[in-house]
Chains A and B, each alone.
Chain A
Amino acid sequence: MLRTESTKINLMRPLGQPALACAGYRWRENYYSHQRRGGYNIGVRIIEDFLARTNVGRCHDFRETADVISKNAFKLYLGVTPTVTNWSPAGDEFSLQLDSNPLAEFVELPDNHTGLSYSSLLCGVLRGALEMVQMAVDVRIVQDTLQGDLQTELRLRFLRRIEESMPAGEE
């Protein structure tokens, strides 16, 4: 995935994930967990790609991380720059507000799935990617344009630093 030229592709828009949503999940919870797991797998791999493409060094605090996520990562992969807002007083929790969400741009939820948290894939991606740089975070969607909100808002909460440890049996 270390292709340096910025090859772009337009296929993702129609691809989206409605297919995933309908391809066999009868229950919303199932879809939700699959999206998170799928997103996590993407996140675990996307971080390598991200670090290789950008010259971002280690972040010193969570605020810097927030900046990098919105200005670099979202910009690079989705072409949008979400706003970082609503910091908690302790500085361990913030929101990413997306005015437009490329994943859900052409999506309408069918009447029998109005509560579906369609973009939960993004939560998994963020969690997976941050876990690979030793940050355990909790990500959830608090606002979703598909549910009638004005914007999509992801809430990230810093849980703890993951200490690196040797894999068992290796010195």
Chain B
Amino acid sequence: MESRFTKGKSALLERAPSRARGDVSLSAFALLFSELVQYCQSRVYSVAELQGHLADLGKRVGIRVLDGLVVRERGGRRETRLLNTLLLVKVNLWRSLFGKEADKLEQANDDDRTFYVIEREPLINAFISVPRDNSSLNCAAFAGGIVEAVLVASGFPAKVTAHWHKGTTLMIRFDESVMARERFLDGR
């Protein structure tokens, strides 16, 4: 790559994009994440705001994760269909972030643009005890942010929210344009 792009700052960019090596201790992550949550908490007034903050931080991760994922797992080819993109999230994204697949991927019965990624015990929440007075708080909003950014950057505009349901459920609601495109591609 031409040096003006890398500015000579990072030798990393000269390396082959092989599989990410080396895992990090779960406690190190848990403690860092706890600081992240406390940091967000110190500057918000409501649970919704806090989750919003966490999701924003997750988005910053998601955008960065996608490129590496596509290059490593898909040989540089982006997915263009809805189901494959969702599988990329459920299988590859989850495996690269958490070392395992997400437990379940479901479609809502009454709405074809809504999907659920269900995790019984998400790693992110493993050491988090939610205070009783704001029990709706789910720090997996961070994971929701990651998923949302991955989907949006893949060309599938969606809204992702985290809920307590069968463990933790990330609710993905796709934009109408995505469904219209899917129908068009199906009809061809």
A residues contacting B by CB (< 8 A) are 1, 3, 6-15, 17-20, 23-24, 34, 38, 41-42, 45-46, 49, 76-79, 102, 105-106, 108
B22 at the interface (CB under 8 A from A): yes
For A2, the closest partner residue in chain B by CB is: B27
B60-102 contacts to A, CB under 8 A, are 60-61, 64-65, 96-99
How many residues on B have C-beta within 8 angstroms of the other chain's C-beta atoms?
A: 38
Closest to B8 in A: A148
Which chain B residue lies CB-closest to A17? B32
Chain B residues near A (Cβ < 8 Å): 7, 9-10, 12, 20, 22-36, 38-40, 43, 53, 57, 60-61, 64-65, 96-99, 123-124, 126-127
User: Which residue of B has the minimal Cβ distance to A114?
Assistant: B9
Residues of A within 8 A of B43 (CB): 24
Complex contact B25–A1 (CB within 8 A): no
Residue from A8, A15, A23, A34 in contact with B32 in the complex, judged by beta carbons closer than 8 Å: A15
Nearest Cβ distance between residue B8 and chain A, in whole angstroms?
10
Q: 8 closest pairs, A vs B, by CB?
A: A8-B23, A12-B24, A77-B28, A38-B35, A7-B26, A42-B31, A19-B57, A12-B29
**Selected A-B contacts with CB under 8 Å, 28 pairs:** A3-B26, A7-B99, A9-B25, A9-B26, A9-B99, A10-B20, A10-B24, A10-B99, A11-B29, A14-B61, A14-B64, A15-B32, A19-B36, A19-B57, A19-B61, A20-B36, A23-B40, A38-B35, A38-B38, A42-B31, A45-B31, A77-B25, A77-B27, A78-B25, A78-B28, A79-B23, A79-B24, A106-B12
**Closest B residue to A105 using CB positions:** B12
Residues of chain B with a CB closer than 8 A to A105's CB: 12
Contact B24 A38 (CB under 8 A): no
| Majority SS at the chain B contact face | helix
Give min CB distance, A132 to chain B, whole Å: 14
Partner of B24, one of A9, A23, A41, A108: A9
In the assembled complex, which residues on chain B have CB atoms less than 8 Å from the CB atom of A45? 31
- Residues from chain B with Cβ under 8 Å of A23 in the complex: 39-40, 53, 57
List chain A residues, Cβ under 8 A from B29. 9, 11-12, 15
List residues of chain B with CB within 8 A of the CB of A8. 23-26, 99
- Judge whether B25 and A18 touch: CB under 8 Å: no
**Residue of chain A at shortest CB distance from B59:** A19
* Contacts A11-B24, A19-B61 known; 4 new A-B pairs at CB < 8 A: A1-B127, A14-B61, A15-B33, A79-B25
Residues of A within 8 A of B9 (CB): 108
Collect the chain A residues with CB atoms within 8 Å of residue B36's CB: 15, 19-20
Question: What is the bound-complex CA distance between A8 and B126, given in angstroms?
Answer: 13
Measured between alpha carbons, how far is A143 from B65 in the docked complex, in Å?
29
A1–B27 contact, CB under 8 A?
A: yes
Residue from A9, A13, A17 whose CB has the most chain B CB atoms within 10 Å: A9
